[in-house]
């Protein structure tokens, strides 16, 4: 039996299991026959196992260079280093969808297993909906994007994976992170759709909904940031974010999921915004599918669309089905999710969260509109237009400032109705610190209303956030005489989500400051240097020490050796792998540059090689200094830490005494 | 074939088409970069000619440099590119014609959203009556209650 047949067989098995779980789960769920649950669970486990198996077979085929498997013939090469051979599992369309299937299997398995004995009233429906999504992907792998086709007379070697993907170690982690974010949104979609199909949304079902949105959210966050880091470190144009359609595609579900995370607090506290929150969960998932469609169908050309094929129409149909299904569900079942209480005034915690949701919805709308507008004008009016970075920047800037402002104001406000005097008292210190920060920055020569507003607001937000984080601990220290660390630990573990959320806020503030500083105060220089010549970039100086060339199994490269002199006169030599290079891959005609990036806490010095002349011994460079840009990626640990704190499982509650009424069963829901 | 081209490139040098225009003085060069930021690179899609390392974009940026050196103002340079490549060449859509919707629709969404929020929240009530309704910070109150046990 050859690997093609084995792999394809496993995919078919997965397809069968998923389809079975979907049909049985949804039908028995609708009929409320909870006895069928074990059957659905077993089918889910079967799907997960066969998808995992199929992926292992593909990895084995790649590692053993079995060029009779179509996908291996497409991306494999004897000269590719082993690590990139494994990575090539997701370096082209078919493989990435297969990998997608494995992640889907892992997620659904984890979800089904975690709650195998809980939430019986929703479980079949939710698992059924998730399995329906899984069925779609298994169908893609089995049909339109089949990587397993057997090649009767295979060649002895293949072309190797896309060179862009072999250029940097970040390419090994960035795509899986994004996939984990994208695929994971299937779970909250299933949970929300299950609740809608059932026609009720109890408090108990909210807990998994929240947690299982947070999991893909953090992967999406990390994936997006790593992607921007990769673009910055590899593409050589000195930027990290270009509002490219594919970047936008990953940003939109992040925005709606973030909005969800906030509106869910109003839902819990005020039993209001149910419909909106559920709609956000549905939208986050649909946007991931829209995003996948954008990346994979080739309607947009971008650096990321290295995996194009004709699966576009299949995806369009799926998106259509999802939209109709979700809209119908919301329309038919929506009235069952009515608010149980009135919201307070706009100057309150819930008011600020409503505004936060509006701002996030508006950013999502801007990104969606800007991304789709060129398609619409071209399709309907045959007029080609561009919606580029300047548009998105202008629209996103005021909205981002609004989120920053709300991040400071929201936590200060109480639920319900606020007492203006209390708010005034609370706002004095953070407000003063904010003004002070902006003033000090101005005194040190920083100009421009945008960065100064960001710095000032950030100071304000940081003070508010730190106060919220540590005030409870301080109370414990004074009243309980606890030591500082004990007090922080105990107060944090008493309110994990709150504590974790504020830690994440600090990370977001760091990112905003970094974006503002690096875009407002960057310094650029470009020019051609002869051997031994130097040029200035800000207070730094760069000397060209000659060309260097080398050969690796999968590429050849030319590097320009540099010596960087800091303002203090300290010299750093960039001769080896840290010199800016051009890499030549056999597969592509244009070279792929790797810039030389000297990362420091307060600034990066970024040099990229534009062209060179061996005879004249000259080289042309593009150089930048980016203040604080690294803080965008340094914020990742804060985001992860905050999320982990929020997700950390609460110790199981002590069993309820037998006399307490059992609250779970509420029969007769319409 | 590709291998042959490759060895040639490696031995002699890689220079994009028409590369070699030295930057102008820093004031005018800043203008070149700013104008370049607003013009679209024809081969890379989605990236401006100031940002793209592609040879075509470098050549176009040289053209901008040339026009700036000739004393053309920003609008004239944009017109030059629009005349040749259509409105597609502009990174920032115009605030008129069919692209006006891009600029207005988000504002409309915001206004509608704010109206919706105002209508669904209470009018600010008299603070004295409200203050007793709920403690200013329920979490702190909980901590205090915890400690009193």
At residue A583 the predicted structure's pLDDT band, cuts being 50, 70 and 90, is confident
pLDDT of B139 reads 66
Q: What proportion of chain B, given as a percentage, has pLDDT over 70? A: 63
Of the listed ranges A170-174, A449-453, A539-543, the one predicted with least confidence: A170-174
- pLDDT tops 50 at residue A36: yes
CA gap B28, A386 in Å, rounded: 26
Q: Per-residue confidence at A319, pLDDT binned at 50, 70, 90?
A: very high
pLDDT, position A162: 76
Least confident of A200-209, A451-460, A474-483, B48-57: B48-57
The residue count of chain B comes to: 149
Tokens of A261: 């995370």
In the structure, what pLDDT confidence band is assigned to residue B135 with cuts at 50, 70 and 90? very low
User: Do B66 and B110 sit in the same domain of this protein?
Assistant: no
At B123, the pLDDT band (50, 70, 90 cuts) reads low
Q: Is the pLDDT of residue B110 over 50?
A: yes
Confidence of residue B132 (pLDDT cuts 50, 70, 90): very low
Which residue spans within A272-325 are E strands per DSSP? none
| Joined tokens for residue A196 | 């809608």
The values of phi and psi at residue A84, to 5°, are -75, -20
Q: What is the band of A303 on the pLDDT scale with cuts at 50, 70, 90?
A: very low
Phi, then psi, of A150 in degrees rounded to 5 = -85, 130
Question: Residue A422 and residue B131: Cβ atoms within 8 Å?
Answer: yes
Give the mean model confidence (pLDDT) for residues A381-385.
Answer: 84
With an 8 Å Cβ cutoff, is B25 touching chain A?
A: no
Q: Are B39 and B48 in contact (CB under 8 A)?
A: yes
What pLDDT, in 10s, does the model give residues A546-574? 999 988 877 888 999 999 999 999 999 99
How far apart CA B99 and CA B104 sit, in angstroms, is: 9
Distance CA A557, CA A577 (A): 11
**CA-to-CA dists, residue A301 to A245, A304, A350, angstroms:** 8, 8, 41
CA distance B112 to chain A (A): 10
Task: Calculate mean pLDDT across residues A431-444.
Answer: 95
How far is Cα A365 from Cα A163, in angstroms, rounded to an integer?
A: 34
Boundary residue ending a domain (B89, B113, B140) = B89
Structure token digits, residue A181: 């974010």
* Strand order across the beta sheet in which A596-599 lies: A523-530, A618-627, A603-613, A596-599
Residue A4 pLDDT > 50 = yes
> pLDDT value at position B129?
41
The whole-number average pLDDT for the span A109-123 is 90
Q: Which residue has the higher pLDDT, A348 or B139?
A: A348
Query: Using H for helix, E for strand and C for coil, what is the string for A152-176?
Result: CCCCCCCCCCCHHHHCCCHHHHHHH
b (16+ CB within 10 A) / e for B35-71:
bbbbbbbbebbbbbbbbbbbbbbbbbbbbbbebbeee
Which pLDDT belongs to residue A262?
A: 95
Give the position of tokens 């595609």: A249
- pLDDT at A141 (0 to 100): 92
Mean pLDDT of A356-365: 96
> Residue A473 pLDDT > 90, yes or no?
no
A326 close to B98: Cβ distance less than 8 angstroms: no
Give the Cα separation of A184 and A441 in Å (integer). Answer: 42
Quick one: DSSP state of residue A261?
A: H
Asked if the model's pLDDT at residue A200 lies above 70, the reply is: yes
- B138 to chain A, closest Cα gap in Å: 8
Report which listed range, A386-390, A428-432, B93-97, B123-127, is most confident.
A428-432
Q: Minimal Cα distance from B98: which residue of A?
A: A377
What is the pLDDT averaged over residues A509-518? Answer: 96
Residue A436 pLDDT greater than 60, yes or no: yes
Which residues span the domain enclosing B64?
Answer: 2-89
Q: Show residues of chain A in contact with B15, CB under 8 Å.
A: 611-613
Pairwise CA distance, residues A179 & B72, whole Å: 48
Domain boundary assignment for chain A: 1-166, 396-521+637-647, 523-627
- What does the mean pLDDT of chain A come to? 88
Judge whether residue A302 has pLDDT over 50: no
Least CB-CB distance to B117: which of A244, A355, A558?
A: A355
Mean pLDDT, rounded, for B73-83:
92
Average pLDDT of the residues in A98-117 = 95
Mark residue A382 as left, alpha or beta (left: phi above 0; alpha: psi -120 to 50; beta: remaining).
left
Cβ–Cβ under 8 Å, residues A390 and B102: no
pLDDT for the residue numbered A20: 96
Please tell me the predicted confidence (pLDDT) of residue A659: 44
Which ipTM was obtained for this model?
0.83
* Domain endpoint, select from B42, B58, B89: B89
Token couple for B27: 């004031």
pLDDT at A269: 86
Which H helix or E strand runs over A186?
Answer: helix A186-198
DSSP state string for B87-147: GGGBSS--SSGGGHHHHHHHHHHHHHHHHHHHHHEEPP--HHHHHTTS-S-HHHHHHHHHH
Single pTM value for the model? 0.89
> What pLDDT does A53 receive?
96
- pLDDT higher than threshold 80 for residue A611: yes
In chain A, % helix, strand, coil (3-state, to 5) comes to 65, 10, 25
- Amino acid B10: pLDDT: 64
Mean pLDDT of A256-260: 97
Mean pLDDT value across residues A20-27: 95
Q: SS3 string of A563-608? A: EEECCCCCEEEECCCCCCEEEECCCCCCCEEECEEEECCCEEEEEE
Answer whether B6's CB lies under 8 Å from B15's CB.
no
Give residue B14's pLDDT: 67
B146–A494 CB contact, under 8 Å: yes
Mean pLDDT of A47-76: 93
Q: How confident is the model at residue A306 (pLDDT cuts 50, 70, 90)?
A: very low
- A481-498 pLDDT, tens digit per residue, is 888 888 888 888 888 999
Put simply, whether B124 touches A (Cβ < 8 Å) is: yes
Q: How far apart are CA A620 and CA A611, in angstroms?
A: 5
Q: What is the pLDDT of residues A623-659, one digit of tens each?
A: 999 999 999 999 999 999 999 999 988 765 544 444 4
Least confident of A74-88, A238-252, B44-58: B44-58
Task: Please state the rounded mean pLDDT for residues B43-70.
Answer: 82
Tens-place pLDDT, residues A614-633: 888 999 898 999 999 999 99
Mean pLDDT of A367-374: 92
pLDDT given at position A487: 87
Residues B23 and B68 in one domain: yes
DSSP codes joined into one string, A350-417: HHHHHHHHHHHHHHHHHHHHHHHHHHHHHHHH-------HHHHHHHHHHHHHHHHHHHHHHHHSPSS-
pLDDT in tens, A146-198: 999 888 888 888 888 877 777 677 878 888 999 999 999 999 999 999 999 98
Using a CB cutoff of 8 Å and minimum separation of 24, what contacts does A34-37 make? A34/A120, A34/A121, A34/A124, A36/A124, A37/A120, A37/A123, A37/A124
Choose among B11, B125, B147: nearest Cβ to A480. Answer: B147
> What is the residue-wise DSSP string for A319-352?
HHHHHHHHHHHHHHHGGGG--SS-EEESSSHHHH
- For testing the chain A interface, which of B121, B139, B140, B142 should be mutated: the one with the most A CBs within 10 Å? B121
The answer to whether A71 touches A148, Cβ cutoff 8 Å, is yes
Q: How far is A423 from chain B (nearest CA, A)?
A: 9
* Res A372 pLDDT > 70: yes
Enumerate residues 6+ apart whose C-beta is below 8 A from A105.
Answer: A14, A47, A48, A49, A50, A51, A52, A134
- Total tally of structural domains belonging to chain B: 2
**Confidence bin at A662 (pLDDT 50/70/90):** very low
User: How far is B65 from chain A, CA to nearest CA, in Å?
Assistant: 13
Residue with tokens 């244009």: A590
Contact A275, A334 (CB under 8 A): yes
Give the CATH number of the domain where residue B46 resides. Answer: 1.10.8.640
Q: Are B12 and A613 an interchain contact pair (Cβ–Cβ within 8 Å)?
A: yes
**Is pLDDT above 80 for B60?**
yes
Distance CA A277, CA A267 (A): 8
Q: Is the predicted pLDDT of residue B136 greater than 90, yes or no?
A: no
Question: How close A127 gets to chain B, by Cα (Å)?
Answer: 34
- Determine the residue of chain B that is closest to A272 in CA distance: B120
Q: Contact at 8 Å (CB) between A50 and A11?
A: yes
């Amino acid at each position: 039996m050859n690997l093609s047949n084995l792999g394809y067989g496993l995919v078919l098995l997965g397809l069968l299991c998923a389809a079975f779980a979907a049909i049985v789960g949804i039908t028995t769920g609708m009929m409320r026959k909870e006895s069928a649950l074990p059957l659905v669970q077993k089918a889910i486990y079967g799907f997960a196992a066969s998808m995992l198996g199929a992926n292992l077979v593909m990895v084995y085929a790649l590692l053993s260079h079995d060029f009779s498997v179509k996908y291996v013939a497409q991306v494999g090469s004897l000269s590719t280093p082993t690590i990139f051979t494994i990575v090539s599992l997701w370096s082209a369309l078919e493989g990435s969808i297969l990998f997608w299937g494995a992640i889907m299997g892992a997620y659904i398995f984890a979800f089904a297993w975690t709650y195998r004995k809980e939430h019986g009233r929703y479980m079949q429906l939710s698992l059924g909906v998730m399995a329906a999504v899984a069925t779609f992907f298994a169908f893609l792998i089995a049909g339109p994007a089949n990587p397993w086709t057997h090649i009767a007379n295979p060649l002895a070697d293949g072309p190797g994976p896309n060179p862009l993907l072999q250029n940097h170690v970040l390419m090994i982690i960035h795509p899986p992170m994004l996939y984990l974010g994208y695929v994971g949104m299937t779970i909250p979609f299933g949970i929300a759709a299950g609740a809608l199909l059932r026609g009720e949304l109890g408090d108990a079902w909210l807990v998994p909904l929240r947690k299982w949105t947070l999991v893909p959210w953090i992967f999406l966050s990390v994936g997006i940031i790593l992607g921007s880091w990769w673009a910055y470190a590899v593409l050589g144009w000195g930027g990290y974010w270009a509002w490219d359609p594919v970047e936008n595609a990953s940003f939109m579900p992040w925005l709606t999921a973030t909005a969800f995370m906030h509106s869910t607090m109003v839902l819990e506290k005020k039993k209001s915004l149910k419909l909106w929150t559920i709609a956000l969960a549905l939208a986050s998932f649909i946007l991931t599918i829209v995003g996948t469609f954008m990346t994979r169908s080739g309607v947009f050309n971008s650096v990321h669309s290295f995996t194009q094929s004709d699966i576009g129409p299949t995806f369009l149909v799926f998106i259509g089905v999802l939209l109709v299904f979700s809209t119908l569900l919301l329309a038919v079942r929506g009235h069952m999710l009515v608010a149980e209480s009135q919201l307070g005034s706009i100057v309150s915690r819930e008011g600020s969260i409503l505004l936060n949701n509006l701002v996030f919805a508006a950013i999502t709308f801007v990104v969606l509109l800007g991304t789709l507008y060129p398609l619409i004008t071209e399709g309907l009016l045959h007029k080609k237009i561009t919606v580029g970075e300047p548009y998105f920047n202008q629209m996103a800037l005021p909205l981002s400032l609004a989120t920053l402002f709300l991040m400071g104001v929201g936590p200060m406000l109480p639920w319900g109705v606020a007492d203006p005097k209390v708010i005034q008292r609370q706002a004095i210190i953070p407000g003063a610190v904010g003004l002070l920060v902006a003033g000090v920055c101005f005194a040190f020569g920083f100009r421009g209303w945008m960065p100064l507003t960001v710095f000032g607001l950030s100071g304000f937000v940081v003070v508010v956030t730190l106060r919220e984080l540590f005030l409870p601990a301080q109370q414990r220290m004074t009243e309980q005489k606890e030591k500082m660390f004990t007090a922080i630990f105990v107060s944090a573990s008493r309110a994990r989500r709150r504590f974790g959320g504020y830690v994440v806020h600090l990370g977001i503030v760091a990112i905003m400051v970094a974006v503002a500083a690096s875009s407002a105060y960057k310094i650029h220089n470009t020019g051609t240097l002869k051997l031994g010549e130097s040029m200035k970039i800000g207070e730094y100086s760069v000397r060209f020490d000659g060309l260097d060339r080398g050969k690796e199994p999968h590429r050849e490269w030319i590097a320009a050796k540099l010596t960087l002199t800091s303002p203090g006169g300290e010299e750093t030599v960039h001769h080896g792998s840290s010199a800016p290079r051009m890499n030549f891959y056999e597969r592509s005609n244009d070279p792929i540059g790797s810039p030389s990036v000297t990362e420091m806490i307060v600034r990066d010095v970024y040099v990229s090689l534009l062209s060179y002349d061996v005879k004249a011994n000259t080289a042309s460079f593009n150089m930048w200094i980016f203040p604080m840009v690294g803080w965008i990626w340094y914020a990742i640990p804060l985001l992860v830490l905050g999320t982990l704190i929020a997700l950390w499982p609460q110790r199981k509650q002590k069993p309820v005494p037998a006399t307490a009424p059992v609250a779970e069963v509420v029969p007769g829901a319409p | 074939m590709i291998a042959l081209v490759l060895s040639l490139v490696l031995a002699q040098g890689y220079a994009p088409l028409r590369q070699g225009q030295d930057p102008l003085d820093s004031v005018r060069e800043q203008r070149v970069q700013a104008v370049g930021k607003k013009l679209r690179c024809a081969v890379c899609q989605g990236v401006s000619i100031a940002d793209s390392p592609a040879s075509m974009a470098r050549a176009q940026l040289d053209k901008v440099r040339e026009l700036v050196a000739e004393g053309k103002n920003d609008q004239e340079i944009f017109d030059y590119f629009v005349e040749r490549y259509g409105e597609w060449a502009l990174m920032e859509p115009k605030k008129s014609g069919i692209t006006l919707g891009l600029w207005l629709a988000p504002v409309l969404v915001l206004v509608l959203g704010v109206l919706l929020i105002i209508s669904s929240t209470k009018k600010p009530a008299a603070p004295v009556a409200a203050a007793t309704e709920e403690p200013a910070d329920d979490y702190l109150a909980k901590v205090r209650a915890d400690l009193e046990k």
